[in-house]
Amino acid sequence: MHPSLLLLLLLCSLVCFLALGTLCAVSDARAFFIFGDSLVDNGNNNYLATTARADAPPYGIDYPTHRPTGRFSNGLNIPDIISEYLGAESTLPYLSPELQGEKLLVGANFASAGIGILNDTGIQFVNIIRISRQLLYFEEYQERVSALLGEDQAKKLVNQALVLITLGGNDFVNNYYLVPYSVRSREFALPDYVQFIIFEYKKILTRLYDLGARRVIVTGTGPLGCVPAELAVRSRDGSCAAELMKAADLFNPQLVHIVRDLNSQIGSDVFTVANAQRMHFDYISNPQAYGNCIKLLLQQIFIALNDGEPPGRHYRFHIVPAD
């Protein structure tokens, strides 16, 4: 999935989500851990033999160095902005040789572009860090920190940290809808597939809790059918691809349900869902509420998607209501 539009809007969504104080006392977090896909990968895939890479221009053109870093973004990505908000330096990719000594105490980014909830998602990219491996690396990370601080202090660092996990989009665009009559689409009708991956996601979140995570932001999928790459392939008139929009509409409410269920089982609000799709549409339908910078950003997006035409009543990029 080409992440550019989703990245911009999800970035804005999460920054506002944090700024509104939805998470309590995150400013006291001493570390930040990131799990997921290209929306939050900040360079792990640079160290892998994979085609899912962001190590060449135009990636990074607006990064402070103006060079590609492995982030699937023109500049800073979601974890970078959250780190800034927390007053911390950006976390390093877990595979970076620079992640040693005191830098370990800042946290680590385990994300890898192309992965999904399922291990067969993104198989065309071959060598990526699937979520099961990311969690194994998280265990390894804790062993490394224990060697520095001792087991009790390492456990405290992890328990007090902020965790971000972003999964799900690739399970649709790089699995179920990757090719016509894909293996998964022949195995499951869409509603059944969503239930299946939600069940698997619950296992992942449970494992994350078992490994010590206590403050976790779980992002839902954005408007998958409105991603430029999907519009180019699936839309004849510029409208958001209906099947992918339906997939997101099925996935996000069920994600909220399992998070509530997990929190109830645990007896604490460990997991918080960021409703990325709803926030995206809020920005688009009422940009004035979010400042001139958001309005200008959306205008540029509309112009880019409509062959240079400014936004107006005749633009070809249509918004499908979230509800």
Q: From CA 214, how far away is CA 282, in angstroms rounded?
A: 29
Decide if pLDDT at 46 tops 50. yes
Q: From CA 306, how far away is CA 256, in angstroms rounded?
A: 34
pLDDT band at 13 (very low <50, low <70, confident <90, very high): low
Any idea which of 15-19, 67-71, 246-250 has the lowest mean pLDDT? 15-19
Any idea which of 88-97, 253-262, 278-287 has the lowest mean pLDDT? 278-287
Residue 308 confidence (pLDDT): 47
Is residue 312 within 8 Å of 298, Cβ to Cβ? no
Instruction: Kindly report the backbone phi and psi dihedral angles of residue 164, in degrees, each rounded to the nearest multiple of 5, phi listed first.
Output: -120, 130
Q: For residue 8, what are the contacts with CB-CB under 8 A and spacing of at least 6?
A: 297, 301
SS3 assignment, position 42: strand
Residue 222 confidence (pLDDT): 82
Higher pLDDT, 142 or 12: 142
Residue 309 confidence (pLDDT): 46
pLDDT band at 229 (very low <50, low <70, confident <90, very high): confident
Decide if pLDDT at 226 tops 90. no
Residue 172: DSSP 8-state: I
Residue 223 confidence (pLDDT): 85
Any idea which of 8-12, 196-200, 314-318 has the lowest mean pLDDT? 314-318
Report the pLDDT averaged over residues 120-144: 97
Is residue 118 within 8 Å of 173, Cβ to Cβ? no
Decide if pLDDT at 323 tops 60. no
SS3 assignment, position 156: helix
For the chain, what is the mean pLDDT? 83
Decide if pLDDT at 206 tops 80. yes
Residue 31 confidence (pLDDT): 94
CB contact burial 254-282 (16+ within 10 A = b; e otherwise): bbeebbeebeeeeeebbbbbbbbbbbbbb
* Alpha helices (H) along 212-275: 228-234, 242-266
| pTM for the model | 0.82
Report the pLDDT averaged over residues 270-277: 84
pLDDT band at 231 (very low <50, low <70, confident <90, very high): confident
Residue 214 confidence (pLDDT): 95
Q: For residue 113, what are the contacts with CB-CB under 8 A and spacing of at least 6?
A: 37, 38, 41, 45, 52, 53, 54, 72, 125, 128
Residue 156 confidence (pLDDT): 96
**Residue 292 is inside which H or E element, if any?**
helix 292-305
Number of H helices, E strands in the chain: 11, 5
Residue 125 confidence (pLDDT): 94
Residue 87 confidence (pLDDT): 84
Report the pLDDT averaged over residues 219-235: 84
